[in-house]
Amino acid sequence: MTPKHWAIAPPRPEADVLASELGIPLAIARVLTNRNVLSPEAAESFLNGSLKDLNDPYLMKGMDRAVARVEEAIRNKEKILVFGDYDVDGVVSVVILLRALAGLGGDVDYFIPARLQEGYGIKESHVRVAQERGARLVISVDCGVKAVGFSAGAREVGIDVIITDHHRPGAALPEAVALLNPVLKESGYPYPNLAGVGVVFKLLQALLEKRGKAAQLEHYAKLVAIGTIADVAELRGENRLLVRQGLRGLEKVSNRGLRNLLSECGVLDRKVSEGDVGFRIAPRINAAGRMGVADDAVRLFFSEDERESVRLARHLSDLNSRRQSEEDTIYTQALDRIQAGSLDRRYKMLVLGCETWHRGIIGIVASKLKDLLYRPVLLFTYEDTKAHGSGRSISEFSLIECLDACRDVFLDYGGHTLAVGCVLPRERMGLLRERINQVAGAKLQEGDLLKKVKIDSRLDLAEIQTSFLDIHARLAPFGSGNPRPIFLSEGVEVAGAAQILQGKHLKFLARQNGRMIEALAWGRKEWLDVARPGSRLDVVYSLRSSTFLGEEKYSLSLEALRASDK
């Protein structure tokens, strides 16, 4: 019941300055300093930033060449082919660029490779696709930084290439008209953590501002928010500005397809949170790519027919239900193998594979296992002579650096610190396990694998008043790089009898210094023995809001608790 380690962040003196100069609660100021937001100016931007605070897109190396070539293609009526990835980040990037370039007068088409047949990224063989479509300019989105062969082949047949990507490069960079990627050291861009759709947005920002149409940018922020949240990009800097604006825009949308998708998710014409995007909206878009029909997701956003739009939105929901069913099967099989072999006790990183596992779903399962067991997980499906893998990691361990150390084992690989994909000959799986265990064994300490409850600040329940909640709401959106604040209240009284909801959730009223607030512990019915009427507890929680009959209500979402000695 009690977590192995409660880590309370030590108070920083800068928090007192922020609280005094900005007039905000000290607990909120401590949350900011824990996010390394230390000055009043930085805090003001964090709490109140807008699209006006975006960086100049021309700070990104190659932006001037990209804009000039796109404008030339539009002016000369050249066919532009947008080449995208099949995940949410890639799909919404395709949609944004198609709509924007068409709106500027471009002759534009798109291509997304079939996930299961073609895999990730632009291959040299895709030059033929560009030729068949009559393209004179190819713009990649959310991929391309390793497309050396494709760029060379396209150049040989007179097709120009602009690459927009946010992944790490390989040994050599492709030769393109422009390579827009803030991750590259030579990029010169001050914010390296944009999602793929964020890089596309910067290109769009440069194009629209040049034409005096910057006001249109906020309309595209809706899809940027969806792609950024789905890609688990950090919600700091420009990502935070874009997601915040986009979530506001999702409260009222006009695009027929997006409206029907939001209706399917039960969030139409109401406040949309980052949680709604991450757990309702994005999975439906993602399901199309994972099940091999990413085109259906793109078509949804361009459908002009209401009946077709409703059908496509429901189709994405059906695909997501199928995906969830397969995910549950894979998760159960993988966990059974881990527990039967005590693999989580023997290895610091878990590597498993199976012929029957769906290639488009193993990444989601890897993420769930990573959360449950708190260690990096790399899952594979075997097809013919190849092993296709997808991995997820904890914050203490960089997966892409791990794969870099084993690069000679792979046929192809790529990704980020926390998420990767790879392919290798199946016969090398034994070698890969050996090498990965060496890397993980050297870099991960036992303490890194203990799931920690990281507490931002102590807080008295009496402090949770309307003014506090208003400032707390401005800390959102929450996610990678800006986790939901975690507070500790000590000596809290259980007011009345606790309840068990749906046979698994605990609910009780918490009282401290005259303030009473509902506390919920999801999936923790075993805590009932400690939460007896009148008992005093130390509770660790985040604040959650819900709306019922138009009224917003806050509750404590419990992360941990223990009997108090206060």
Domain containing residue 30: CATH number: 2.40.50.460
Residue 496 covered by a domain: yes
Q: Are residues 434 and 408 in the same domain?
A: yes
Q: Would 527 be classed as within a structural domain?
A: yes
* Structural contact between residues 411 and 386, judged by C-beta atoms closer than 8 angstroms: yes
Does the pLDDT of residue 116 top 80, yes or no? no
Are 413 and 553 contained in the same domain?
Answer: no
What's the pLDDT band for 486 if we cut at 50, 70, 90? very high
451: confidence class by pLDDT, cuts 50, 70, 90: confident
Q: Going edge to edge, which strands form the sheet with 79-83? A: 107-111, 79-83, 137-141, 160-164, 178-180
Same domain, 30 and 67: no
What contacts 182, CB < 8 A, 6 or more positions away?
60, 166, 189, 191, 192, 193, 194, 199
Q: Tokens 């393109």 map to which residue?
A: 176
Provide the mean pLDDT of the chain: 94
223 occurs within a structural domain: no
What pLDDT is recorded for position 459?
Answer: 97
Q: What is the pLDDT of residue 431?
A: 96
Domain boundary (449, 472, 504) is at 449
Q: Are strands 419-425 and 386-392 parallel, antiparallel or unpaired?
A: antiparallel
Question: Looking at residue 416, what is its pLDDT?
Answer: 82
pLDDT in tens, 430-448: 999 999 999 999 999 988 9
Q: Please report whether residue 303 resides in a domain.
A: no
Q: State the pLDDT confidence band at 170, using cuts at 50, 70 and 90.
A: confident
Q: Can you give the residue range of the structural domain that contains 370? A: 341-449
Report whether pLDDT(171) > 90: no
pLDDT the model gives residue 566:
78
Q: Alpha helices of 163-279 — where are they, by DSSP H?
A: 196-210, 217-230, 237-249, 256-265, 274-276
Are residues 91 and 155 both part of a single domain?
Answer: yes
Q: What DSSP letter does each residue of 105-120 carry, written as one string? A: T-EEEEE---HHHH-S
Show which of 411, 434, 449 is a domain's final residue.
449
Rounded (10°) CA dihedral 514, 515, 521, 527: -10
Looking at 449, 465, 494, which one is the last position of a domain? 449
Is 510 in contact with 518 (CB distance < 8 Å)? yes
3-state secondary structure of 54: coil
| pLDDT exceeds cutoff 90 at 428 | yes
CA distance 361 to 292: 11
- 61/183 same-domain check: yes
Q: Say yes or no: 415 and 489 in one domain.
A: no
Residues 58, 197, single domain; the answer is yes
Q: With beta carbons less than 8 A apart as the criterion, state whether 394 and 365 touch.
A: no
Residue 264 lies in a domain: no
Joined together, the tokens standing for residue 81 give 């082919």
3-state secondary structure of 454: strand
**One domain for residues 202 and 71:** yes
pLDDT in tens, 345-362: 999 999 999 999 998 899
Q: What is the CATH number of the domain that holds 429?
A: 3.10.310.30
Contacts of 500 (CB under 8 A, 6+ apart): 506, 507, 525, 528
User: What letter would DSSP give residue 124?
Assistant: G
If one counts every other C-beta atom within 10 angstroms of the C-beta of residue 272, the result is 25
CATH number of the domain bearing residue 173: 3.90.1640.30
Identify whether residues 21 and 42 lie together within a single domain: yes
Going from the C-alpha of 334 to that of each of 4, 56, 102, 344, 434, the distances in angstroms are 25, 47, 46, 12, 20
Q: CB neighbours of 165 closer than 8 A, spacing ≥ 6?
A: 140, 141, 142, 143, 144, 145, 179, 180, 181, 183, 196, 199
Residue 549 is predicted with a pLDDT of 66
pLDDT of residue 444: 95
Rounded Cα gap, residues 508 and 528, in angstroms: 9
| Alpha carbon distance 342, 336 (integer Å) | 10
pTM of the prediction? 0.88
Q: Do 200 and 58 fall into the same domain?
A: yes
Residue 323 forms part of a structural domain: no
What is the model's pLDDT at position 143?
93
Q: How many domains does the chain have?
A: 3
Q: What is d(CA 275, CA 432) in angstroms, rounded to the nearest whole number?
A: 36
**Is residue 198 one of the residues assigned to a domain?**
yes
* pLDDT value for 1: 37
Q: What is the pLDDT of residues 141-161, one digit of tens each?
A: 999 999 999 999 999 999 999
Same domain, 84 and 111: yes
pLDDT band at 2 (very low <50, low <70, confident <90, very high): very low
Q: What percent of the chain has pLDDT over 90?
A: 87
Range from 39-53, 425-439, 494-508, 542-556 carrying the lowest mean pLDDT: 542-556
394-401: average pLDDT: 93
pLDDT at 289: 81
- Whether 132 maps to a domain, the answer reads yes
* pLDDT the model gives residue 3: 45
Q: What is the largest CA-CA distance in the chain?
A: 78
Torsion of CA 525, 527, 530, 536, to 10 degrees: -110
Spatial CB neighbours of 69, under 8 Å, sequence gap ≥ 6? 137, 160, 162, 177, 178
Check whether residue 499 and residue 546 sit in a common domain.
yes
Q: Half-sphere exposure of residue 33, counting CA atoms within 13 Å on the CB side?
A: 22
